[in-house]
């Protein structure tokens, strides 16, 4: 329990430790501060990724405030939803918000100073930029895709990256359903014509979608959600995935991409941007598609070869396409930004008929953005305040049940280290003079993360523990919470 004495002592310890604290997050001078969204409540028990029950205690959970929350700086870019701003400001953090992504030089300037950054799909966090982020503890991708962050480099620097794995999946699936109908009825073209005064009532080459075959490439969160919606509208669904996945409803997995392309009236892509998916649909694949079929891409811009798509449409191999994502996308909203300067083929693409182009809005609904804001900011707060890395995409997932208010003189150690032999022996020797209340460690590739709650630790011990851990040759980043 925080007493005035604790607070004074904490402030004294903070003064000693702050200079050498590798992450520059200062030790708390406000341990009594309450926090709302992320705190494990007394009744809150949850399972770890490995299925272990993490909390069974009925005692009130202790809010670990390792630092003065007012010192924590968060940079939010790309118009991240206001739910996130509320949660992060509710912690007392300093939040700087920008509606757009930032040019590289400005981003480098700002990232030097912050402990967490929140981005969407446009901000590229490259090694060059992350190398400057001396204080950065965590990154929040307020979206599904994490290809814009160098995940491995971030892990090597001890920076945990979180995303929102499915909060916008439904929104993307609904957009694709809309596009299937719009393409098969040429609605985009009819609308453009009427906007410019032309009445063009036609039925030639306009079709119902009932009974047509939808081929889904990538049957993950979005692909499988789409499958259910498409079947309910009378479509037959086949899918291709590198994994064997059980089909929902009567959807059937096919064993090759070519089989899917040969059989589908509509082909839609829902794969991540990885080396294997670059130009996954190019000239050879267009040749495999049925004459007069349609292509939809709401995954990532690099997944289809756009010049090959332009050729396929010009030659009427395909009857139309809907594209939501592009190899290069403007950093902000505005006129004349989708130009040949950005993508050399822009004018050619925009001049074609029955091509629906949308500005990366697959996940852009109020519902999705609000849910993503809550989910990702809560992950950031749990990581900053409690050390829990559950849900991290580049990092071992580690969590411990909460310390409780009656557990005085405890410290929570968060030790991110190189995954090499001898670490546990060294660390447990450092802990040896104290009681290890609980401990959990996991690794992922070359990075490992150890969380331990240690009891019987006074102020001087905390400082000594901290310094000894910092001096180990395996240390990547160490934080103490109490
Ligand atoms: N347009 C937009 O606004 C949005 C776009 N996205 C994009 O959609 C992508 C997919 O999202 P989710 O369905 O949530 O991902 P997911 O990870 O749940 O599913 C991806 C599926 O693709 C499969 N896959 C991977 N490589 C493959 C390959 N070479 N061939 C065939 N299948 C392969 C995986 O096994 C997995 O089943 C995201 O990575 C993101 O880039 C996501 C949300 C919004
Ligand atoms: O809405 C966004 O900013 C990005 C959506 C997206 O592509 C994703 O979630 O991966």
Of 215, 235, 232, 233, the residue nearest 223 (C-alpha) = 215
438 assigned to some structural domain:
no
* H or E segment to which residue 75 belongs: strand 73-76
Identify the pLDDT of residue 54.
Answer: 40
CA of 254 to the centre of ligand 1 (A): 17
Report the C-alpha gap between 411 and 480 in whole angstroms. 7
Identify the pLDDT of residue 339.
Answer: 97
- 121 and 228, same domain (yes or no): no
The enclosing domain of 192 has a CATH number of 3.40.50.720
- 147 and 254, same domain (yes or no): no
Average pLDDT over residues 251-274: 98
Handedness of CA 312, 317, 319, 322 (dihedral sign): negative
Exposed/middle/buried for residue 340 (C-beta within 10 Å: 0-12, 13-18, 19+): exposed
Report the C-alpha gap between 468 and 434 in whole angstroms. 14
420 assigned to some structural domain:
no
Answer with the one of 345, 377, 408 that is the final residue of a domain.
408
Range of the domain at 132: 7-166+367-408
- 225 and 268, same domain (yes or no): yes
Of the segments 35-49, 136-150, 448-462, which one has the largest average pLDDT value? Answer: 136-150
Q: Specify the higher pLDDT residue, 380 or 482.
A: 380
Identify the pLDDT of residue 4.
Answer: 30
Average pLDDT over residues 230-235: 98
Identify the pLDDT of residue 409.
Answer: 85
Q: Is the pLDDT of residue 348 over 60?
A: yes
460 assigned to some structural domain:
no
- 176 and 276, same domain (yes or no): yes
Ordered alpha helix ranges (H), 124-220: 127-130, 151-156, 169-184, 187-195
Q: How confident is the model at residue 68 (pLDDT cuts 50, 70, 90)?
A: low
Partner residues linked to 439 by β-bridges? 452
Report the C-alpha gap between 455 and 461 in whole angstroms. 11
- Phi then psi dihedrals of residue 76, to 5 deg: -110, 125
Find the Cα–Cα–Cα–Cα dihedral 135, 140, 146, 149, rounded to 10°.
-20
440 assigned to some structural domain:
no
Identify the pLDDT of residue 242.
Answer: 98
Tell me the residue ranges of DSSP E strands in 246-385: 252-253, 266-269, 293-297, 318-323, 355-357
Q: How confident is the model at residue 6 (pLDDT cuts 50, 70, 90)?
A: very low
134 assigned to some structural domain:
yes
Identify the pLDDT of residue 433.
Answer: 87
User: CB neighbours of 209 closer than 8 A, spacing ≥ 6?
Assistant: 180, 181, 184, 233, 234, 235, 266
Report the C-alpha gap between 319 and 316 in whole angstroms. 6
Question: What is the percent of the chain with per-residue pLDDT over 70, rounded to a whole number?
Answer: 86
Per-chain mean pLDDT for the chain? 88
CA of 330 to the centre of ligand 1 (A): 22
Q: Is the pLDDT of residue 468 over 60?
A: yes
Q: Is the pLDDT of residue 362 over 50?
A: yes
Identify the pLDDT of residue 66.
Answer: 56
Residue position matching structure tokens 């000594």 = 464
CA of 257 to the centre of ligand 2 (A): 25
Identify the pLDDT of residue 62.
Answer: 73
- 208 and 133, same domain (yes or no): no
| Ligand 2 lining (C-beta closer than 6 Å) | 120-121, 143-145, 168, 363-364
Q: Is the pLDDT of residue 75 over 80?
A: yes
- State yes or no: is 360 an active-site residue: yes
Average pLDDT over residues 159-187: 98
* Number of domains observed in the structure of the chain: 2
Average pLDDT over residues 144-168: 97
- 293 and 206, same domain (yes or no): yes
Q: How confident is the model at residue 71 (pLDDT cuts 50, 70, 90)?
A: confident
Mutate to test the pocket of ligand 2, among 140, 148, 168 (most ligand atoms within 8 A of CB): 168
Partner residues linked to 74 by β-bridges? 95, 116
Identify the pLDDT of residue 405.
Answer: 82
Q: How confident is the model at residue 61 (pLDDT cuts 50, 70, 90)?
A: confident
| ipTM, interface predicted TM-score of the complex | 0.99
- For the stretch 230-239, contacts whose Cβ atoms lie closer than 8 Å and that sit 24 or more positions apart, written own/partner, are 230/177, 230/180, 233/177, 233/209, 234/209, 234/210, 235/180, 235/209, 235/210, 235/211, 235/266, 236/211, 236/212, 237/213, 238/213, 238/214, 238/263, 238/264, 239/215
DSSP 279-293: T-BSHHHHHHSPTTE
The tokens describing 98, both together, are: 């920008």
> Cβ(112)–Cβ(129) under 8 Å?
no
Average pLDDT over residues 266-281: 98
Mutate to test the pocket of ligand 1, among 121, 144, 251 (most ligand atoms within 8 A of CB): 144
> Cβ(183)–Cβ(322) under 8 Å?
yes
Report the C-alpha gap between 479 and 482 in whole angstroms. 10
Report the C-alpha gap between 415 and 407 in whole angstroms. 21
- 12 and 85, same domain (yes or no): yes
- 102 and 237, same domain (yes or no): no
Of 367, 226, 224, the residue nearest 296 (C-alpha) = 226
- State yes or no: is 417 an active-site residue: no
Q: Is the pLDDT of residue 9 over 60?
A: no
């Amino acid at each position: 329990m925080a007493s005035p004495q604790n607070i004074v002592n904490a402030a004294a310890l903070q003064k000693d430790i702050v200079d050498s604290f590798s992450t520059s997050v200062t030790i708390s001078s406000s341990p009594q501060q309450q926090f709302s969204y992320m705190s494990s409540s007394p009744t809150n028990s949850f399972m770890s990724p490995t299925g272990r029950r993490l909390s069974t205690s009925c005692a009130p959970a202790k809010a670990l405030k390792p630092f003065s929350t007012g010192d924590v700086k968060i940079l939010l870019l790309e118009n991240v939803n206001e739910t996130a701003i509320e949660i992060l400001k509710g912690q007392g953090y300093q939040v700087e918000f920008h509606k757009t992504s930032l040019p590289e030089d400005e981003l480098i300037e700002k990232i030097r100073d912050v402990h967490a950054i929140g981005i969407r799909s446009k901000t590229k966090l490259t090694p060059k930029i992350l190398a400057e982020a001396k204080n950065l503890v965590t990154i929040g991708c307020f979206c599904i895709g994490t290809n814009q962050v160098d995940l491995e480099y971030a892990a090597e620097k001890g920076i945990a990256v979180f995303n929102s794995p499915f909060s916008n999946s439904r929104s993307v699936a609904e957009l694709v359903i809309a596009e299937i109908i719009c393409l098969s009825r040429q609605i985009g073209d009819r609308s453009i014509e009427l906007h410019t005064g032309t009445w063009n009532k036609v039925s030639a080459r306009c079709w119902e979608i009932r009974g047509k075959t939808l081929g889904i490439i990538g049957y993950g969160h979005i692909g499988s959600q789409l499958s259910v919606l498409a079947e309910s509208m009378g479509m037959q669904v086949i899918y291709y995935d590198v994994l064997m996945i059980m089909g929902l409803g009567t959807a059937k997995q096919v064993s090759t991409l070519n089989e899917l392309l040969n059989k589908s009236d509509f082909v839609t892509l829902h794969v991540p941007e990885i080396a294997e998916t670059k130009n996954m649909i190019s000239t050879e694949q267009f040749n495999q598609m049925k004459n007069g079929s349609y292509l939809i891409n709401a995954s990532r811009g690099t997944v289809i070869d756009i010049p090959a798509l332009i050729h396929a449409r010009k030659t009427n191999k395909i009857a139309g396409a809907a594209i939501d994502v592009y190899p290069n996308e403007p950093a902000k909203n505005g006129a004349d930004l989708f130009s040949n300067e950005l993508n050399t083929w822009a004018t050619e693409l925009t001049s074609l008929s029955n091509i629906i182009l949308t500005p990366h809005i697959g996940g852009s609904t109020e519902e999705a953005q609000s849910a993503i804001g809550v989910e990702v900011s809560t992950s950031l707060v749990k990581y900053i305040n409690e050390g829990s890395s559950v849900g991290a995409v580049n990092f071992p997932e580690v969590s411990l049940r909460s310390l409780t208010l009656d557990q005085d003189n405890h410290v929570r150690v968060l030790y991110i280290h190189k995954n090499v032999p001898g670490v546990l022996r060294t660390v447990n020797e450092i802990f040896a003079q104290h009681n290890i209340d609980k401990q959990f460690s996991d690794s992922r590739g070359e990075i490992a993360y150890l969380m331990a709650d240690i009891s019987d630790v006074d102020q001087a011990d905390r400082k000594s523990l901290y310094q000894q851990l910092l001096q180990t040759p395996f240390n990547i980043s160490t934080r103490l919470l109490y």
